[in-house]
Amino acid sequence: NTLKKDRDYTVKYASGRKMPGRYIITVIFKGNYSGTKELDFVITPKTPTLKVSSAKGKVTLSWTEVTGVTGYQIYYSADGKNYKKLTSLSKEKYTKTLKSGKKYYFKVRGYVKPKEGSTVFGSYSSVKSIKVK
């Protein structure tokens, strides 16, 4: 049978569900049906846009702010394949001293740490490379 909303069931939505994070929807059956069913869903953070610049042995990374995130994770690679997490931080800018004359690859992603449950990660930005001056 096809159930009809408001006749056979109602839906209770979690508050704040427009921001990135984990949420629960509760379906409450009524009429000829009984019981409840909880369903969880995830809203992932948007993808930041990364910008990279270099000056005198330093690389400066900046990216667009993503609303609702707890922080950002920055990854780097010397070969463009094997990425390592450089740091996690809450601001949209980071400067790192690296070896001059060498090329590095970077990507960043936002994340949300909900009060309950595991961390929700957004997609990685597109990879940006730069040769350190």
Beta-bridged to residue 118, according to DSSP, are none
In this prediction, residue 122 carries a pLDDT of 97
Q: Please say whether the beta carbons of 100 and 106 come within 8 A.
A: no
Mean pLDDT of 45-52: 97
User: pLDDT tier at 65 (50, 70, 90 boundaries)?
Assistant: very high
Q: Which whole-number Å values give the CA distances from 50 to 112, 119, 125, in the listed order? A: 19, 22, 6
Mean pLDDT of 57-62: 95
DSSP character for 124?
P
Mean pLDDT of 54-81: 95
Name, in order, each residue with C-beta under 8 angstroms of 119's C-beta and a sequence gap of 6 or more: 111, 112, 113
Q: Is the per-residue pLDDT at 115 higher than 90?
A: no
Mean pLDDT of 57-70: 95
What is the C-alpha to C-alpha distance for residues 107 and 95, in angstroms, rounded to an integer? 14
Q: Is the per-residue pLDDT at 126 higher than 80?
A: yes
Model pTM score:
0.83
Residue 42: alpha-carbon gap to chain centroid: 11
Q: Please say whether the beta carbons of 39 and 27 come within 8 A.
A: yes
What is the C-alpha to C-alpha distance for residues 94 and 99, in angstroms, rounded to an integer? 16
